Amino acid sequence: MSTEGTCSASAMAEAAAANATPFWKIVILSIFAFPTAFWVVMYLIPQVYMAFRPIPDLKKRYNASWSLVTGGGSGIGKALAFKLARQGLNVVIVSLDDDILKATMKQLKETFPKLEFRSVGVSFSPGVDYLKKIQEATKDIEIQIVFNNAGFLVTGFFDQAPLGKLLANMECNATAAVNISHHFSSKLVSAKKKGCIVFTSSVAGFIPTPFSGMYGATKAFVSQLACSLHIELQSLGIDVCAVHPSPVASNFYNDLDHKIDILESACKQAVPPEDLPDDIFRSIGCCALRDLGAMAWSSRMGTFFLPYNFFTEMFAAAAPFLPDWKTHNKTRA
């Protein structure tokens, strides 16, 4: 029964049914939404867990005495060396043979007089037998913890950069990490020892990086290598991961051939290198890849849904209008 100004229950039901989204549309939307939702959830859960995970004591975790850090003279590498020493580990620092390395060694020895520190002053350049020097310096000790941290950045158009500098960039950022990781992982496997190998990589490896193409390419290589080694070595008790820090206030951005506006803006938000070791340590034994900091997170979250070719073509269309392109294109032949 109905009265004026009201509708019957059946009429209301009919109206609701007419306005309802068809079931087939819900199914299609769910199918397309699921991959995105799944990616976001699977990305965020490990990030949240690692943010609150207790910092592992690597000395106890692997029953280790010695560790090795490349690029340990300054920046992230130096901060890692001090963190390792605070956990009671002796440290071998591999870095350029300069006053910065000497100063860092002096600080470590003065701060931790009961520990032992060794330095290997080498350049990760093509034609330099740096691995032989590392092998010689570590032949009487057992290295179970390796941080492949050394790296530098070459900026400018690929065709304008000296080939020798590009190849040196590849050697330092990628090839040296292969040589060192292969040497120490082989020794760990042969001795049936546990340990870890950590790579300092970058989210630059997951997006096109014009004006610093070699850097992005080497970081893509390093992250891919870390994932593959993570699978190969995890069951043997050897943890492998790559971390992708956001900009860090260090010597990394000094003496660039070409200034890049995007990098200049990023440097304004850079954090001290001493802020990173705790988060890097939390990543060990918990993941294959770890993004650290707001810029790394936003880069991943903001681009994961874009097909890489589409993203590249969008970038290529916009690039000639970018200030960096206009500035550096003037010097092209």
Find out whether 120 and 133 touch, Cβ atoms under 8 Å: yes
In angstroms, the CA 44 to CA 52 distance is 13
Side chain identity, residue 127: G
CA torsion angle for 276, 280, 281, 282 (degrees, to 10)? 110
In angstroms, the CA 259 to CA 193 distance is 45
CA 12-13-14 angle, 5° bins: 90
Find out whether 70 and 147 touch, Cβ atoms under 8 Å: yes
Side chain identity, residue 308: Y
Find out whether 260 and 211 touch, Cβ atoms under 8 Å: yes
- Which residues, in sequence order, are bridge partners of residue 246? none
| Among candidate residues 267, 175, 265, the one with its CA nearest the CA of residue 225 | 175
Catalytic residues: 215
- For the stretch 175-195, what's the b/e string if a residue is b when 16 or more beta carbons lie within 10 angstroms of its beta carbon? bbbebbbebbbebbeeeebbb
Side chain identity, residue 304: F
In angstroms, the CA 133 to CA 140 distance is 13
